[in-house]
Structure 1
């Protein structure tokens, strides 16, 4: 298992100060990135992406998402730059210019460490990035308690033919590796996905599936599923539309690594 205090992968999230990576209850805010389209044709296309933290799925009613850990990976594995970025009160937005055939991964990966310790007889608290943590707690501190939080928010879009090169896991935190391609989901056919924690199957994990557009429904449409021994869960889609998928996990520390609180938030589109 990854040793969170010293893993070189943590350099990826350096510069991120705040993260609320705790299991989401019924009233917690939900993190999402919603693309304007997920399947496009032609040789050149644009999509817009909204990103927010909200009470309802895809309803910008609480806060814009910080995009410090945003990466856009093209079909060839190269990183693309977002365009026309804007952060408002309730949502952040950006555009992606698609010029290569295949599947793109749009992910916002954030991390932070929260620590408490005793110094000169007083209990104190520190919060910062994983890269800052080794120097964040002063010398002489005792009774140090620290937790690493990691959150992944992502979606996928395809221009032309489907591809799968962007699905290679990093081995860090809670990740989803699709069994069914996320841009090949249709009503009437179950979609299968696998969750990994530090590259290993996340078995017995509860997954929440919620369809967008709940503002105009009398009751939200949500499913609760559980991953099997291989970390796989299967979704029978009740309707076409955009769906939010969420899971969280707590991993105890030990042997030089910090306890981990990780969550995954994915957005997929199911076509009629």
Structure 2
């Protein structure tokens, strides 16, 4: 498996908060024999501006159209963004993504102070859970959290081999291909949580360039009983799509299961 590794963690949440993570490609489609695409991985308060410290401690993976791993090239880790290149030379659709999961806990101590595990910036080791959390912790909430950030690039005709779900965490399964989005018609996506329909997942869509508008102009949706959401795009352009899901179907010691997902998508004319 070919990955690129960085040195601190991405923001945990996908649906809009003070800061949001995103992965922006310089192109979402290529013709002819293909070529190079540059990607920016960043955290910001506005889409798609560089106004916060660059994310660290992230592995980026490239899934080629034949579902094999491709390579990250020319990695540059800057103050406000991490950039890299990918050679798009295989016909079909590439998926570029980061994914992570782990336990986290929060509680109140006997004297009313808040406790957290793991410490900020650290990775949870499940073997340390029993000793890290006080036995007299009050209002203990243990969460099994998953996070995924994606974007897609297609050479020639769109394909779906690289888009198959892993059945781990919150995932988008395209009904409408993510590189075939048109402003004139709604796009349909299926969301899964650990391989099953994510019923009632909260979805938010925001067009890029939000710093030039008085308000973000977000569109909010919720998945139906089958985990499906239909999105009507307002106009052409680059969009950030965020999804968030939470339930109590967790594996012990977790009591809460949560999933966060985001994707950068381009909407074109017919």
Instruction: Give, in whole Å, the separation in 2 of the partners of 1:107 and 1:87.
Output: 17
Distance in 2 (CA, whole Å) between partners of 1:24 and 1:140 is 28
The residue aligned with 1:21 is 12
What is the TM-score of this pair, normalised by structure 2?
0.84
Distance 2:81 2:145 in 1: 22
1:241 to 228, 237, 243: 237
Q: Indicate if the aligned counterparts of 1:113 and 1:147 stay in contact, CA closer than 8 A.
A: yes
Counterpart Cα distance in 2 of 1:117 and 1:215: 37
2:190 is paired with a residue whose SS is strand
Distance in structure 2 (CA, Å) of the matches to 1:23 and 1:43: 35
Task: Establish whether residue 165 from structure 1 lines up as the match of residue 167 from structure 2.
Answer: no
Instruction: Decide whether the 8 Å contact of 2:41 with 2:55 is kept in 1.
Output: yes
Name the CA distance, whole Å, in 1 between partners of 2:114 and 2:44.
33
Aligned length: 258
Deviations 1:190-237 (A, max 9, x none): 111111111111112221010001222233232111111111111111
Matched, 1:189 2:185: yes
196, 199, 202: which is aligned to 1:203?
A: 199
Provide structure 1 residue ranges, at least 5 long, that are not aligned to the other structure: 1-11
Counterpart check, 1:142 vs 2:166: no
Alignment of 1:25-40 (within 5 A): 25=16, 27-40=17-30
**Secondary structure at the residue paired with 1:63?**
coil
Partner of 1:126: 117
1:69 and 2:92 matched: no
Question: TM-score scaled by structure 1?
Answer: 0.84
1:247 and 1:92 map into 2 onto residues whose CA distance is 23
* Structure 2 unpaired stretches of 5+: none
8 Å CA contact 1:117, 1:143 repeated in 2: no
- Report SS of the residue matched to 2:205: strand
Which moves more between the two structures, 78-87 or 99-108? Answer: 78-87
Task: Tell me the secondary structure at the aligned position of residue 162 of structure 2.
Answer: helix
Relative to 1, partners in 2 of residues 1:176 and 1:229: Cα closer, same or farther, differing over 3 Å?
Answer: same
Tell me the CA shift for residue 142 of structure 1: 2.2
1:257, 1:167 → 2: CA distance?
A: 31
Helix, strand or coil at the partner of 2:259: strand
Query: RMSD between aligned alpha carbons?
Result: 2.9
Describe the superposition over 1:168-198 as per-residue Cα deviations: whole angstroms up to 9, x where unpaired: 1111111000100011112212111111111
Deviation of residue 165 (structure 1)? 0.4
Deviation at 1:115, TM superposition (A): 3.5
Distance of 1:156 and 1:140 partners within structure 2: 40
Which stretch shows the higher mean deviation, 81-90 or 245-254?
A: 245-254
Distance in 1 between residues matched to 2:236 and 2:257, nearest whole Å: 35
Return the alpha-carbon distance in structure 2 between the equivalents of residues 115 and 242 of structure 1: 36
The yes-or-no answer on 1:268 pairing with 2:265 is yes
Is this contact kept in 2: 1:64–1:91, CA < 8 A?
yes
Q: Is the 8 A contact 1:20 1:149 kept in 2?
A: no
Tell me, what secondary structure is at the counterpart of 2:179?
coil
**Which residue of the partner structure matches residue 99 of structure 1?**
89
